[in-house]
Amino acid sequence: MSKTIKSKSGRKLDIGKVDANMVGKKMEADGLCWRSPLGKPFRLDGFYWFPKHKLFRRMPLVKLPEGVEAMACHTAGGQLRFRSDTKRLSIRASLLDASVMYHMAQTGSCGFDLYLGKPGEQRFRSVSIFTPGSTEYECELMKKPIAQMREFTLNFPLYSGVDRLEIGLDEGASLQAPSPFEDIHPVVIYGTSIIQGGCASRPGHCLTNILSRRMNRPFINLGFSASGKGEPEVAEIMAQIRKPEPSLFILDYEANTPSTESYRETIPNFIRILRQKHPRTPILLVSRIRFSYEVPEDGAALQDNAWRKERFELQTKIVKDLRGAGDRNLHFLDGGILLGEDYDECTVDGIHPIDFGFQRMASAIEPVIRRLIRNN
Amino acid sequence: MSKTIKSKSGRKLDIGKVDANMVGKKMEADGLCWRSPLGKPFRLDGFYWFPKHKLFRRMPLVKLPEGVEAMACHTAGGQLRFRSDTKRLSIRASLLDASVMYHMAQTGSCGFDLYLGKPGEQRFRSVSIFTPGSTEYECELMKKPIAQMREFTLNFPLYSGVDRLEIGLDEGASLQAPSPFEDIHPVVIYGTSIIQGGCASRPGHCLTNILSRRMNRPFINLGFSASGKGEPEVAEIMAQIRKPEPSLFILDYEANTPSTESYRETIPNFIRILRQKHPRTPILLVSRIRFSYEVPEDGAALQDNAWRKERFELQTKIVKDLRGAGDRNLHFLDGGILLGEDYDECTVDGIHPIDFGFQRMASAIEPVIRRLIRNN
């Protein structure tokens, strides 16, 4: 009985003492050889300016809008790939920040996750285990009984910067370059916190990583939490991505524009800047997904509110006008359909998708991307 | 440039300063009237012994196995329902513990979420916003422009105890009992951390809460993290649930049994104890979902490992034997199919489902539950 009362009122329950699976396992690091993934044969994707700066960073080291700068070091969409016959894989990570958010698991914001298999055939294996709030951690991601050549994809944290990363493999294990993607021309997505991956439970469930696996191609994630404002300097930087030429640009930043007016003011110029360097690359405008406040009362039929109607009309008009003026590679996709009819179930907070929502988005957008790339 | 370097190396990025949506909004509590939900017209489900102990607790205050006791105060599957014409809804919560786990969002472990609408038609509205690790918080869950009668469902935290809860409504707002469920006979599910809701992003995505919404009936969640060991004293307590008589018992605790032998030793007795008080209530055994380590290497076809085969044979044999001996209301469901072929994508850590996985489980198990209840 005393135990009962104690656990009823005690505030210091240590979940790990009850369920060790809820805190993770001790790693065995003996005999591991630690390597830096900064050079070959490791392959990094998602950090276009890495060859120049040697930083896990999504934008170049130039003057950027403040919010974009703050998010530029967040490694959303970054992937490290390689092949090895190691039986074990561990990582040591040093993070630039480790914010604990109320609505996103630490594995999503600050963790890495591991997929095994060739590009396009990857299967999820494991996720980083670490103390929430840590900026340094070391953990084992794979331990197999048999040494055989395997292909590894490590997805980087979504809401944290990575200062340093080391890869621990069995001593003497081989290390080779990964298989190439089927198509090396990246899809570049510019957007908001939703594109950055808020609030996936782990990095592999960020939209760009899901699509990269499904479509066997690289994605460059330029989602900047709260900071997808459509600034011309961001467009100028995106336009620099030319080697290889992107297969598609997706602009999905409506949710961060404070007014229809600010979207109207930024989007034509943003497209114009991209077109200067990429005259024929397809560009897809995607409007905002539905938020839970759009759910009609009392089971009434869904009606677009004035705000959604206005934005929809604006975007379809811009695309129609520019297509009429000769830009046949400009397209529009209604974000209002991406999550399905039960869109409210797809988010953690009425705004940010959870894995369930990102899978829905991926399923809705994948055929559109395939068609645009194929037809170009 | 100095800004760039600073944010590159600075470890104190405050995500809230960049994106206010990632930390939440200030609430306006003026003019709210705070009420205790312990009595009528509020309706609590999921805490069967609440009328006796007046505690948000899933088990009675008796001597319990240690792990079960530790989890008994975790409020997984608890629901508070009522109707009101308030324009605003806020909550004040005082938690018994507030562990920050590495792989589960705080909204899931320590938050409440709000659904609006009649039972069976609920739509997600919002989730608690609070500082991670807090044991006390107050937050606004709804603010509507129009006062009209609405039906509220608040889902309780999955991995925390709730010591005290207050509901803030507009002063003078009406307060009424909620609409009853279509069928008041609960489904009682006994199991592991997975049944408890690890690692849903918010309480509404716990399996029992998803099913309660879809099936318009109450569920009693007896998932005990790491502690679903099939002890006879737990069966004795489950068997006490008789008013109203459960529509179905589900036993899904295989994942917490350390060996096939311990499952073999516990399950016949567990069933026997339930049958003493519930001779004809359907009982469904569910085997363990697939974990990511079961993914075959190199794209080979999925083959059940020796362990899964052994457990499957054991469970089907037990059910067959007992049915042969006259218990026609005992059934088995292969948990290996619940998550689908890409079961690895359905978990955060290879073990615990995320919302994507819980939705899959719900979709697979719902028709089975409906059939068993209908045929009884």
Average pLDDT of B289-302?
A: 84
Look up the ipTM and state it. Answer: 0.91
Higher pLDDT, A359 or B12: A359
Q: Where are the domains of chain B?
A: 28-176, 187-289+303-375
- pLDDT, residue A23, reads 55
> Helix/strand/coil (H, E, C) string of chain A?
CHHHHHHHHCCCCCHHHHCHHHCCCCCCCCCEEEECCCCCCCEEECCCCHHHHCCCCCCCCCCCCHHHHHHHCECCCCEEEEEECCCEEEEEEEECCCCCCCCCCHHHHHCCEEEECCCCCCEEEEECCCCCCCCEEEEEEEECCCCCCEEEEEECCCCCEEEEEEEEEECCCCEECCCCCCCCCCEEEEECHHHHCCCCCCHHHCHHHHHHHHHCCCEEEEECCCCCCCCHHHHHHHHCCCCCCCCEEEEECHHHCCCHHHHHHHHHHHHHHHHHHCCCCCEEEECCCCCHHHCCHHHCCCCCCHHHHHHHHHHHHHHHHHHHCCCCCEEEECHHHCCCCCHHHHECCCCCECHHHHHHHHHHHHHHHHHHHHHC
Average the pLDDT over B185-214 and give the result: 98
Confidence of residue A28 (pLDDT cuts 50, 70, 90): very low
Distance CA A244, CA A45 (A): 12
Averaged over B15-34, what is the pLDDT? Answer: 64
Q: What pLDDT shows up at residue A25?
A: 42
Chain A interface includes B15 (CB < 8 A): yes
How far apart CA B221 and CA A286 sit, in angstroms, is 40
Per-chain mean pLDDT for chain B: 92
A354·B350 Cβ contact <8 A: no
Question: What average pLDDT score do residues A274-298 get?
Answer: 95
Q: What phi, psi does B220 have (nearest 5°)?
A: -115, 115
Please, what is the Cα angle at A130 between A125 and A134, to 5 degrees?
Answer: 140
Q: What is the pLDDT of residue B99?
A: 82
Q: What is the pLDDT of residue A53?
A: 96
Interface membership of B126 toward A (CB under 8 Å): yes
| For residues A338-343, average pLDDT | 96
pLDDT-derived band of residue A22, with 50, 70 and 90 as boundaries?
low
- Band the pLDDT of B299: cuts 50, 70, 90: low
Nearest by CB to A295, from B21, B72, B123: name it: B123
pLDDT value for B5: 28
Q: How confident is the model at residue B297 (pLDDT cuts 50, 70, 90)?
A: confident
Cβ-in-10-Å burial (0-12, 13-18, 19+) of B61 comes to middle
Percent of chain B with pLDDT over 90: 87
Q: Which residues of B touch A125 (CB under 8 A)?
A: 292-293, 295, 344, 350
CATH architecture of B187-289+303-375: 3-Layer(aba) Sandwich (3.40)
What is the C-alpha separation between A355 and B200, in angstroms, rounded? 10
B304: confidence class by pLDDT, cuts 50, 70, 90: confident
In this chain, the answer to whether the domains covering A28-176 and A187-290+304-375 adopt an identical fold is no
What is the CATH number assigned to the segment(s) A187-290+304-375?
A: 3.40.50.1110
pLDDT band at B305 (very low <50, low <70, confident <90, very high): confident
Size of interface A-B (CB pairs under 8 A): 290
What is the average pLDDT score of chain A?
Answer: 92
CB pair distance less than 8 Å for B292 and A126: yes
pLDDT band at A29 (very low <50, low <70, confident <90, very high): low
Structure confidence at residue B306 (pLDDT): 86
User: Mean pLDDT across the stretch B253-263?
Assistant: 94
Residue B18 has pLDDT above 90, yes or no: no
pLDDT of residue B14: 64
Of the pLDDT bands very low, low, confident and very high (cuts 50, 70, 90), residue A11 is: very low
At B31 the pLDDT is: 85
Residues of chain A above pLDDT 90, percent: 87
Task: Give pLDDT, residue B4.
Answer: 28
> Does the distance separating the beta carbons of A351 and B354 come in below 8 Å?
no
- pLDDT band at A26; cut points 50, 70, 90: very low
> Confidence band (pLDDT; 50, 70, 90) for B19?
low
Q: How confident is the model at residue B29 (pLDDT cuts 50, 70, 90)?
A: low
pLDDT digits (tens, 9 = 90+) for A199-212: 999 999 999 999 99
Interchain proximity B10–A226, CB inside 8 Å:
no
Determine the average pLDDT of the residues in A182-199: 98
pLDDT tens digits along B127-176 = 999 999 999 999 999 999 999 999 999 999 999 999 999 999 999 999 99
Rounded to whole angstroms, the Cα distance separating A38 from A33 reads 15
Looking at residue A80, what is its pLDDT?
Answer: 98
Q: Which residue has the higher pLDDT, A16 or B318?
A: B318
Residue A15: which pLDDT band, with cuts at 50, 70 and 90? low
Instruction: Give mean pLDDT, residues A307-318.
Output: 94
Q: Which of B100, B345, B352 lies at the smallest CB-CB distance from A124?
A: B345
Least confident of A21-25, A276-280, A346-350, B298-302: A21-25
**Lookup: tokens for A300:** 């009434």
CATH number of B28-176: 2.60.120.260
Residue B7, pLDDT score: 34
Cα–Cα distances in angstroms (integers) from residue A102 to residues A124, A134, A199, in the given order = 25, 16, 10
**Which pLDDT does position B105 carry in this prediction?**
98
Residue B328: the pLDDT is 97
Query: In this model, does residue B203 exceed pLDDT 80?
Result: yes
What pLDDT digit, counting tens, does each position of B64-81 carry?
999 999 999 999 999 999
Q: Which residues of chain A lie closer than 8 angstroms to B354, CB-CB?
A: 201, 205, 354-356
Measure the CA–CA gap between A132 and A368, rounded to whole angstroms. 38
Mean pLDDT computed over B245-250? 98
Q: Does A138 touch chain B (CB under 8 A)?
A: no
Q: What is the pLDDT of residues B345-368, one digit of tens each?
A: 999 999 999 999 999 999 999 999
- A125 in contact with B at a CB cutoff of 8 Å? yes
| Contact residues, B window 141-180, toward A, CB-based 8 Å cutoff | 148, 150, 159, 161, 163
- Section B202-225 average pLDDT: 98
Query: Does any CB of chain B come closer than 8 Å to the CB of residue A198?
Result: yes
Within 8 A of B111 by CB-CB distance, chain A residues are: 102-103
Q: Tell whether A299 is within 8 A of chain B (Cβ).
A: yes
